[in-house]
């Protein structure tokens, strides 16, 4: 009596897994994962960098330790680059889709109020993100690929010559422009994370009536901590640490 089910098949095996990269929902999974990965990196990076407050010895030792990880470090660095690249590609793709969905803008923009999570931070992710991206390139070029042992930035520990990164950092932040730029970018970093942190959980499908508000608040706290933690460093060097002559 009933007609045979001729419903179209669901997407094939490969297609469904690939769809994690080319459908809207799939892409958000990637932005969420990479975003959290980057947050994790930044947290660790800050923890390491805080040793700058202790003094040149501990910071340089820390940097040296990392350096001496050898191949492991390369793996981690490649991983980090991959996370950055994926994050950038997918967030740009997502943003492009978003911008393309409403050709004519509203004459008046309003806010619907609570419980909306729309904020300056949520609406500027692409801008804060792009600045962060540009910053990282400059930053890595400045520090990681900046002057090293060969250029006389060396400190001797237990008979071994360590790269004196501490001095490089300290000197860099004597420059008003560099310091100002860092402070500015660190504020943007906080802004990016303020929305990004909770958003990543939501993107991964982790919603819970009790925990989500906690995560949301935690995101704000984390954003402030990271921004303050990072921006304290350039300010500290700029105002508080006299440069020792080489």
Partner 1 sequence: MNLTLKIWRQPSPQSKGSMETYPIAGVTEHMSFLEMLDVLNEQLIKSGQVPVEFDYDCREGICGTCGLVINGVAHGPKKLTATCQLHMREFKDGDTITIEPWRADAFPVIKDLVVDRSAFDRIVSKGGYISINTGNARDANELPIGKEDADQSFDAATCIGCGACVASCPNASASLFTSAKISQYTYLPQGNPERERRVLKMVQQMDEEGFGNCSNHGECEAACPKGISIKNIAIMRREYVKAALKSGTLLV
Partner 2 sequence: MSEIKIGDAIQGHIPDGEIAKKWDNYKANIGVVNPANKRKYTVLVIGTGLAGASAASSLAELGYNVKAFCIQDSPRRAHSIAAQGGINAAKNYQNDGDSTWRLFYDTVKGGDYRSREANVHRLAQVSVNIIDQCVAQGVPFARDYGGLLANRSFGGALVSRTFYARGQTGQQLLLGAYGAMMRQAELGKVSIFTHREMLDVIVVDGHAKGVTIRNLKTGEIESYAGDAVLLCSGGYGNVYFLSTNAMNSNATAAWRCHKKGAYFANPCFTQIHPTCIPVSGEYQSKLTLMSESLRNDGRVWVPKTKETAEKLRKGEIRPRDIAEADRDYYLERRYPTFGNLVPRDVASRNAKYVCDEGRGVNESGLAVFLDFADAINRLGRDAVEDRYGNLFEMYERITGENPYETPMQIFPAVHYTMGGLWVDYDLQTTIPGLFALGEANFSDHGANRLGASALMQGLADGYFVVPYTLGDYLAKQKPVNASDTSHPAFKTSVDEIKAQMEKLMAVNGDKTVLEFHRELGLKMWDYVGMSRTAEGLQKALAEIPKLREEFWNNVRIPGEGDGWNKNLEMAMRVADFLELGELMALDAFNRNESCGGHFREEYQTPEGEAQRNDDEYSYVAAWEYSGNPSEPVLHKEALQFDNVKLTQRSYK
- Applying CB under 8 A, the residues found at the interface with partner 2 are 1-3, 6-8
Angle at 14 (CA atoms; ends 11, 17), nearest 5 degrees: 85
Question: Among residues 57, 66, 68, 117, which is the contact residue for partner 1, using CB under 8 A?
Answer: 117
Task: For the chain, report the end-to-end CA distance as a whole number of angstroms.
Answer: 93
How many Cα atoms sit within 13 Å of 8 on the Cβ side? 3
Contacts of 98 (CB under 8 A, 6+ apart): none
Helix or strand or coil: residue 154? strand
**120 within 8 A of 219, measured Cβ to Cβ:** no
Instruction: CB nearer to partner 2: give 1 or 112.
Output: 1
Q: Which does 6 bind (CB under 5 to 8 A by kind): partner 1, partner 2, ligand HEM, none?
A: partner 2
Distance from C-alpha of 1 to C-alpha of 39, rounded to nearest angstrom: 59
CB of 116 to partner 2, least distance (A): 21
Verify binding: residue 227, ligand HEM, rule CB under 6 A: no
Stretch 68-107 residues interacting with partner 1 (CB under 8 A): 94, 97-107
Instruction: CB nearer to ligand HEM: give 165 or 215.
Output: 165
Instruction: CB nearer to ligand HEM: give 8 or 70.
Output: 70
Can you list the alpha helix ranges (DSSP code H) found in the chain? 13-22, 24-49, 51-54, 56-67, 71-99, 120-123, 125-143, 165-172, 176-203, 211-235
CB of 136 to ligand HEM, least distance (A): 5
**Cα 80 to the center of its chain, rounded Å:** 10
Instruction: CB nearer to partner 1: give 12 or 71.
Output: 12
**162 within 8 A of 124, measured Cβ to Cβ:** no
Verify binding: residue 10, partner 1, rule CB under 8 A: yes
In angstroms, what is the C-alpha Rg of the chain?
Answer: 23
Distance from C-alpha of 221 to C-alpha of 142, rounded to nearest angstrom: 29
CB of 65 to ligand HEM, least distance (A): 10
Instruction: CB nearer to partner 2: give 8 or 176.
Output: 8
Q: Which residues bind partner 1 (CB under 8 A)?
A: 2, 5, 7, 10-14, 16-17, 19-20, 23-29, 94, 97-118, 122-123, 125, 195, 198-199, 202-207, 209, 212
Which residues of this chain interact with ligand HEM, rule CB under 6 A?
A: 28, 31-32, 35-36, 38-39, 42, 45, 49, 63, 66, 77, 84, 87-88, 91, 94-95, 125-126, 129-130, 132-133, 136, 139-140, 143-144, 165, 169, 182, 189, 192-193, 196-197, 199-200, 203, 230, 233-234
């Amino acid at each position: 009596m009933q007609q045979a089910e001729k419903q179209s098949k669901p997407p094939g095996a490969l297609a469904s897994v690939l769809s994690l990269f080319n459908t809207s929902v799939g892409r958000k999974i990637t932005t969420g994962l990479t975003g959290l990965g980057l947050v994790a990196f930044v947290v660790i990076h800050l923890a390491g960098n805080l040793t700058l407050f202790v003094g040149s010895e501990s910071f340089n030792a820390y940097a040296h330790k990392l350096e001496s990880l050898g191949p492991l470090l390369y793996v981690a660095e490649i991983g980090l680059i991959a996370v950055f690249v994926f994050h950038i590609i997918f967030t740009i793709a997502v943003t492009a889709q978003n911008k393309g969905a409403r050709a004519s803008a509203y004459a008046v923009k309003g806010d619907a109020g609570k419980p909306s999570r729309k904020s300056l931070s949520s609406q500027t992710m692409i801008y804060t993100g792009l600045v962060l991206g540009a910053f990282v390139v400059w930053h890595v070029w400045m520090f990681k690929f900046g002057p090293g042992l060969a250029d006389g930035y060396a400190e001797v520990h237990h008979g071994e010559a360590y790269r004196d990164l501490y001095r490089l950092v300290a000197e860099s932040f004597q420059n008003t422009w560099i310091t100002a730029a860092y402070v500015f970018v660190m504020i943007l970093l906080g802004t990016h994370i303020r929305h990004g942190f909770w958003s990543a959980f939501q993107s991964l499908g982790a919603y819970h009536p009790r925990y989500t508000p906690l995560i949301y608040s935690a995101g704000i706290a984390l954003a402030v901590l990271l921004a303050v933690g990072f921006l304290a460093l350039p300010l500290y060097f700029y105002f508080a640490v006299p440069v020792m002559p080489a």
